[in-house]
Amino acid sequence: MNISIPGIDIEKGIKNSGSEELLTELFGDVYKIIDEKSDLIETYLGAKDLKNYTTQVHALKTTCRMIGAIDLGEDFFSLEMLGKENNLEQAEKLTPDILNAFRSLKPYLEPFATKKVVPVNAFDKDAVSAILKELIEAIDDFDLGTAEEATKKLCSYSCRDDLSGKLEALENHVSNLDYDEAKELASQILESL
């Protein structure tokens, strides 16, 4: 792979995500969440809400490690520990530089932000059910690559508007790394089929 992004070990990213293709998809997903997640962390920190702050930095620790941004993952791990120790003063001191480093990835990741999948398959209840089950299992196993693949497959089916909207929301949850919401919505869709 001929990608060079400062602060990202491409080989580790491929190893952690499972394949070159999945890594480049994750780059696109991370690009989409950088601003939202960074703003959220700043909001929680500003409100001295260390519980939610810790949850968010924990998620970004995992995300950064997944894409091979190992040092940044360690930085978010440090913030997570500060949150768990209720060390607001240190968290306030260190967070801005770490978020700036995270935000600095944006221009490098932008080319990977994915295009919409156009439905090409006729709706098949059994196939869609099987993919939803695969997605739920992947989320339970923290298998982000398989979760990505499953949402891609789901979006390749043409279905009625209400279901199509739910599948789009599901894809957004997975792209935004909101796995609890994704799992809940996947379960609801499965029950409604």
Split at pLDDT 50, 70, 90, the class of 167 is confident
- Whether 151 and 169 map to the same domain: the answer is yes
pLDDT digits (tens, 9 = 90+) for 75-94: 999 999 999 999 999 999 99
- Whether 171 and 147 map to the same domain: the answer is yes
- Whether 170 and 93 map to the same domain: the answer is no
- Whether 83 and 18 map to the same domain: the answer is yes
Q: 59 near 36, Cβ under 8 Å?
A: no
**Cα–Cα distance for residue pair 108/96, rounded to 1 Å:** 20
**Residue 140 vs residue 116, higher pLDDT:** 140
pTM: 0.67
At residue 1, does pLDDT exceed 60?
A: no
- Whether 17 and 99 map to the same domain: the answer is yes
pLDDT digits (tens, 9 = 90+) for 21-61: 889 988 998 998 999 999 999 999 999 999 999 999 999 99
Residue 6 is predicted with a pLDDT of 92
**Cα–Cα distance for residue pair 169/167, rounded to 1 Å:** 5
- Whether 141 and 182 map to the same domain: the answer is yes
Q: How far is CA 110 from CA 5, 107, 167, 175, in A?
A: 11, 5, 24, 14
